[in-house]
Amino acid sequence: MEWTYTVWHDPKIIYVAIPKVANSAVKSVLLQSYVKDRYWADPHGKHIGYDEASPEEIQREYPDYLTFTVVRNPFDRFVSFWADKIVGAGWYERLKNDGFSIGSSFEDTALAAASTRDARTDAHIRSQHLRLQGPDGSLIPDLVLRFEHLAHDWEMLRSIVSHRTKKPLKPIEPRRATPHRPWHEYYTKKAERAVTKRYRRDFEMLGYPKTVAAQEATSAMSGTVDPYELLAAINKDMLVIDAAGHDRVRSILAHQSGAGYVPVGQGPDSLWRTDDAVRLARKLAPYQRVALITDGRTIDVPSVDGVDLVLAS
């Protein structure tokens, strides 16, 4: 069964599911944590009951619930689709309707995908951004986890959930990993152009570089917040919201101090803006003290409502 927007009333969280982005792993953890503590061989089973909500209902009926999702580099996600559904064990006949052929090469599959349209195509290759925006264009998730460092981001989510309920969220474990080589090894120039064009909005909204070469060359952002200032300011009861983007040094320092670390900025094409970060801080402030690292676009005030500490990047 395809999950979309599932509501978990205790601990008041909502999961926005995107196919081919760790769905099996996330579903299994949620079921283990809040339905029954056992191994779920098929977390997609149609017999499993859970509450769902529409984007409109999330805004109207669950304003105090924490909504989260997991996103993935579109290049990598498409390789996973091909390895699983086209040349793996996941093929099903309705993929023929989208012009795909079982066992076809990666390049041919990418070229076929370029002709598909989100309104009618299979959910496993539908654009990610469609699940993330409400009818008014606003961002639905409060928290966006990255597939590329999911284990780290999941621990951040667990830390937040621990302040919202006495029912802990269990650690995440890999599920149904489709075997394939590193994703960048599959891309010819034709395949790269096809996937970039097909998922142009995902690349722009999620902040992933639009070329294979640019992604390979991307390194961790260097920090401009004085590490000693951050280390001295934060403590284990604090949540650090980094509106300047994920930074390896700041992340390590936060975790060494026992603090939570939430990166929400990724440059000029960021999925998040600073006001989104402040909105998240206000939602979480009742449960933890909040430190906000600004990114130069932040309003220039000494304090922000719902934020206990502001550090300028």
Average pLDDT, the chain: 82
Q: Kindly tell me if the per-residue pLDDT of 230 is higher than 70.
A: no
pLDDT confidence tier of residue 285, bands split at 50, 70 and 90? low
List the strands of the sheet with 143-146, edge to edge: 51-52, 5-8, 13-16, 66-71, 143-146
In the predicted model, is pLDDT for residue 9 greater than 60?
Answer: yes
> 231 pLDDT band (50/70/90 cuts)?
low
Of the listed ranges 74-83, 90-99, 283-292, the least confidently predicted one is 283-292
pLDDT score recorded for residue 199: 97
CB 272 within 8 A of CB 264: yes
The H or E element that residue 67 is part of is strand 66-71
Structure confidence at residue 272 as a pLDDT band (50, 70, 90): low
Q: Where are the alpha helices (DSSP H) in the chain?
A: 23-34, 55-61, 74-81, 106-113, 150-161, 189-198, 200-206, 212-217, 227-233, 248-256, 274-284
Give residue 276's pLDDT.
66
Asked whether the predicted pLDDT for residue 267 surpasses 60, the reply is no
Query: Tell me, what's the pLDDT at 46?
Result: 62
pLDDT (average), residues 104-131: 95
The full 3-state SS of 137-159, as one line of letters, equals: CCECCCEEEEHHHHHHHHHHHHH
pTM above 0.85, yes or no: no
**Which of the four pLDDT bands, split at 50, 70 and 90, describes residue 39?**
confident
The pLDDT of 254-277, averaged and rounded, is 64
pLDDT for position 232: 64
pLDDT tens, 44-71? 666 777 789 999 999 899 988 989 999 9
Q: Is the pLDDT of residue 251 over 80?
A: no
